């Protein structure tokens, strides 16, 4: 039985070692999927409408509202799978629910996230966008809405 993940290294939560953390996350099927699947157009448009600066604010807001409480509402079901670029990043980086956060990042359930833990999640998602959407600009751009036919 070989252990593919150096858990001590991942649980250290060192952003300078995020490349290793991302490689480790990709061993799990769902994380691999969200690191490699095409991001839906609605989600891409959302990210471009925000730009990197406002997207960071939106990530922080989402983490604080849906992940930071000691017992988040509908924990394990609070992060949809598509429609918003942040959702893709949350699932890929295991910042989608407290169970995944505990398993992958050694951040225990049952306690509110500290400011440092929120910062870690936000920065991990920013690194995800660096990898998955390198063309995303700093400033918002106008993207016409997708109209239903």
Provide the token pair at 77: 């079901």
Q: Is residue 63 very low, low, confident or very high in pLDDT (cuts 50, 70, 90)?
A: very high
**Per-residue pLDDT band at 105 (split at 50, 70, 90):** very high
Angle between helices 29-36 and 115-132 (to 10 degrees): 50
Q: How many contiguous H segments (helices) and E segments (strands) does the chain have?
A: 7, 0
- Among 13, 3, 9, 6, which Cα is nearest to 108's? 13
Q: Alpha-carbon Rg of the chain, whole angstroms? A: 15
**Sequence-ordered list of residues with C-beta below 8 angstroms from that of 108, at least 6 positions apart, any chain:** 102
Torsion of CA 58, 71, 108, 129, to 10 degrees: -20
Task: Specify the pTM.
Answer: 0.92
Query: Does the structure show a pLDDT above 60 at 1?
Result: no
SS3 per-residue string spanning 41-91: HHHHHHHHHHHHHHHHHHHHHHHHHHCCCCCCCCCCCCCCCCCCHHHHHHH
Mean pLDDT of 4-15: 94
Each residue of 68-96: pLDDT tens digit?
999 988 887 888 888 899 999 999 999 99
């Amino acid at each position: 039985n070989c252990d593919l993940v150096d858990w001590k290294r991942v649980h250290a939560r060192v952003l300078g070692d995020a490349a290793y953390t991302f490689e480790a996350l990709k061993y799990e099927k769902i994380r691999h999927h969200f690191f490699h699947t095409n991001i839906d157009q609605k989600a891409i448009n959302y990210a471009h409408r925000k730009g990197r600066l406002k997207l960071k604010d939106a990530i922080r807001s989402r983490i604080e509202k849906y992940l930071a409480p000691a017992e988040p509402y509908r924990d394990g079901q609070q992060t949809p799978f598509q429609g918003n670029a942040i959702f893709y990043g949350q699932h890929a980086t295991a910042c989608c629910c407290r169970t995944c956060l505990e398993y992958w990042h050694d951040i225990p359930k049952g306690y509110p996230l500290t400011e440092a833990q929120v910062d870690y999640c936000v920065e991990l998602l920013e690194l995800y966008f660096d990898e998955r959407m390198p063309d995303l600009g700093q400033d918002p751009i106008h993207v016409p809405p997708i109209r239903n036919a």
